[in-house]
Structure 1
């Protein structure tokens, strides 16, 4: 038998090394416990939970009218996309038609993610509002306190949300002058901020003086989400909204990774529309989702856990009252406010051949969603379904 001997002088040294390593390990554990991961501190959306069950009699009373509307607006089921109507989170009517990809003959179904265009703004605003609700930002906080190179000192987060920043649309100032941006290069959110900070991009109107719908606002809000959470916009949206709500078919488009696998869009003639240099910008657009996933999102926004009451009131108030009229914009939501006191909340979208419409009838707890990847304005006509459920002065007969 071979015996192994250790020198006496090595034993204390070995014991000392073990103690030091053990101590370092304990210190590491203590530090980890004291400093939770970023994900643990993120404010997250919560599902609404069980809702009042709707009766079969109610379904029967509205299904015929919805079906007639659908067939009238998209004759012969000629809608490339998805369409859903639900009450209390329960689907009353649902249709999926057309090609996800004409080249390989793939059909659109309930699990097919489609580009939701500017309906993405509602989701971006939701993440910002959750951060405000958690005290991580303030709505009237100056943008340049977070994005240090942001060049418009009077602009606040609230002004980005309600489109009163006065900024120019990045699609215009990057498209017309090659000295500002070479369209052979993919534009990013950080590029937009850098251009505004260094290229003397003036305001379209003085900050805070009027409403002007502008995608640049939401591109900047996406950067704020990244700065505050320490995550990419894609990661933050996944961890704050998509994953907690079980939105398993929803994602933020990654130009480099997803461009060959996404559902393409088409002109009304059926000709495919390719991507362009602005397709890497997110926050204002670039979320892909399904009607069913957006239904989950809508119900969560109707949950008592969504926002504190004082903050929630600020979301559904019109901020653009310099011109008298019924149309207005809140914090990430469009609205129509009639003199009767009735309010209609929605958001539409359009990007390339994708069109989208998200409607939430809050009093009636009804959700209406239409998504299309073939260019048509009929997507927006779904608002005419509102009179089926409540006193909304749209003329449903125009659609019959």
Structure 2
């Protein structure tokens, strides 16, 4: 026999729970002013027409994301910028910490952060945009573009995919005067004069090397006859209205940009390796970077063929699911899809960009105080589809 008192208590409990849940959802919604923003590129030539994300979906995912943030990021003493978007629409964001050495400037949605190797995505896209424009060929020899470059077998594609054989310039022995800042032309001169040798035969295997992306930035400069800062502004930042993004190429202004910190909150040092760009030294915000992520769904911004080239693997000499495309890391999953992302680290700056293209989801975290917690963002992915759970290497 059914206990009527039990039913009444159950109904009261359910109603109370629903009321609490509605209040929680209402409170959560009140902290998300961008819920109604359909698309960050809605008035842009490279806009993509996505369906509006239902409020119920936003509330459900935002609750999951907030719990993840509190349990994994906030507890780690993170400072920086965090954003998750679906269909180009922000469903959660959080900002914390300070941008300057004195603790006066709080980080907010307009604070440009040094995104370390996540900037390689931007460098790669700038090169691919020039390929689309017919200014460069993916399989063109670097020696055709950079005068005196001694390795004709190294191509634009092998630079983009880290298969050139060029070792990391930071490890060049007896080359640098540590009292002088190394710049892109210094790296090129060291290679051209053969002060360093190749680590392996070009296109024979994969080795991640920042030198590749220093050269790519310099290729962009030579092809456009502009500085890399100017070229990125014209190729990407201005077309996508990325108003808080720039290339940092003047160390005399190092105190005017967002500073980075050790994990004990002490200010990070600058040194002779901080002058190169393309591999790093790109500053942006999550909202700006979301504009780039959204534009990559547009065949008008980057052709479908090049996006396919960008997101496929090139290195199969070693077994495993991890690979590298053209400016993107990837995991080749059992379901046949490629999970694409890029992480970064430079000094106190850590960064993570995850692009779940099949589900139109973007996860971004930029921090200016060193923390390995940045790379835990991968654990959010499985809440948006059939994706892996676990940490990823840089």
TM-score (norm 1): 0.84
**CA-CA distance at 1:258 after TM superposition:** 2.7
Partner of 1:147: 146
User: Which digits, 9 at most, give the CA deviation of each residue in 1:252-311, with x for residues without a partner?
Assistant: 012245312011111101111121111110000000111100001110111121333332
Q: From the superposition, tell whether residues 375 and 46 of structure 1 become closer, same or farther in structure 2 (CA, over 3 Å).
A: farther
Describe the superposition over 1:216-266 as per-residue Cα deviations: whole angstroms up to 9, x where unpaired. Answer: 000000111011101010000001101111111111012245312011111
Deviates more, 1:386-395 or 1:111-120: 386-395
Preserved CA contact (<8 Å) 2:159 2:213 = yes
Q: Would the aligned equivalents of 1:160 and 1:221 in 2 still touch at CA under 8 Å?
A: yes
The CA deviation at 1:200 is 3.1
Pick from 193, 201, 210 the counterpart of residue 198 of structure 1: 193
Structure 1 runs of 4+ aligned residues shifted over 3 Å read: none
2:362 is equivalent to residue 367 of structure 1 = yes
CA distance in 2, matches of 1:156, 1:386: 34
Q: Matches of 1:85 and 1:138 in 2, distance apart?
A: 34
Aligned partner of residue 249 in structure 1, secondary structure: coil
CA contact (8 A) 1:77 1:97 kept: no
Alignment correspondent of 2:277: 282
Measure the CA separation in 2 of the matches of 1:187 and 1:231: 20
In the TM superposition, what is the alpha-carbon distance from 1:49 to its structure 2 partner? 4.1
Question: Using a 3 Å threshold, how does the CA distance of structure 1 residues 324 and 46 change in structure 2: closer, same or farther?
Answer: farther
What SS class does the counterpart of residue 259 from structure 1 fall into? helix
Alpha-carbon distance between aligned partners in 2 of 1:308 and 1:199, rounded to the nearest angstrom: 37
State the partner residue of 1:67: 66
What residue in structure 2 maps to residue 319 of structure 1?
314
Structure 2 residue 250 is matched with structure 1 residue 255? yes
Using the alignment, how far apart are the partners of 1:135 and 1:46 within structure 2? 20
Find the counterpart in structure 2 of residue 120 from structure 1.
Answer: 119
Q: Which residue of 2 aligns with 1:99?
A: 98
Determine if contact 2:115/2:282 at 8 Å carries over to the other structure.
yes
Q: Is the 8 A contact 1:193 1:220 kept in 2?
A: yes
**In the alignment, which of 172, 183, 200 is matched to residue 188 of structure 1?**
183
SS of the aligned residue for 1:151 comes to coil
Counterparts of 1:150-299 in structure 2, within 5 Å, are 150-173=149-172, 176-177=173-174, 180-299=175-294
Question: Following the alignment from structure 2 to structure 1, what is the Cα–Cα distance between the partners of residues 59 and 119?
Answer: 33
Give yes or no for contact 1:314–1:331 (8 Å, CA) kept in 2: yes
Shift of 1:148: 1.6
Task: Say which one has the larger Rg.
Answer: 1
Match of 1:382 in 2: 377
User: Could you say what secondary structure the match of 1:313 adopts?
Assistant: helix
CA–CA distance in structure 2, aligned partners of residues 76 and 328 of structure 1: 31
Secondary structure class of the residue paired with 1:227: helix
Map 1:43-82; keep pairs closer than 5 Å. 46-75=45-74, 78-82=77-81
Q: What is the TM-score normalised by the length of structure 2?
A: 0.86
Hey, what's the Cα distance between the residues in 1 that align with 2:292 and 2:140? Answer: 27
CA distance in structure 1 between the aligned counterparts of 2:68 and 2:368, rounded to whole angstroms: 20
**Is the partner of 1:238 in helix, strand or coil?**
helix
Secondary structure of residue in 1 paired with 2:359: coil
Q: CA deviation at 1:210?
A: 0.4
Q: Distance in 2 between matches of 1:395 and 1:380?
A: 9
Equivalenced residues, count: 348
5+ unaligned residues in a row in structure 1: which ranges? 1-44
Q: Unpaired runs of 5+ in structure 2?
A: 1-43
Quote the offset at 1:82 in angstroms: 0.5
Between the aligned partners of 2:234 and 2:309, the Cα distance in structure 1 is 25
- Contact 1:46–1:300 (Cα < 8 Å) also in 2: no
The answer as to 2:332 corresponding to 1:337 is yes
Q: Take 2:358 and 2:147, find their aligned partners in 1: how far apart are those partners?
A: 41
Q: Which whole-Å deviations, capped at 9, do the CAs of 1:316-340 have from their partners, x for residues lacking one?
A: 1100011121100001100001122
CA distance in 2, matches of 1:49, 1:335: 24
SS at match of 1:272: coil
Residues 341-366 of structure 1: CA distance to partner in whole angstroms, max 9, x if unpaired?
A: 13210000100000001111001001
Query: What's the CA shift for 1:48?
Result: 2.2
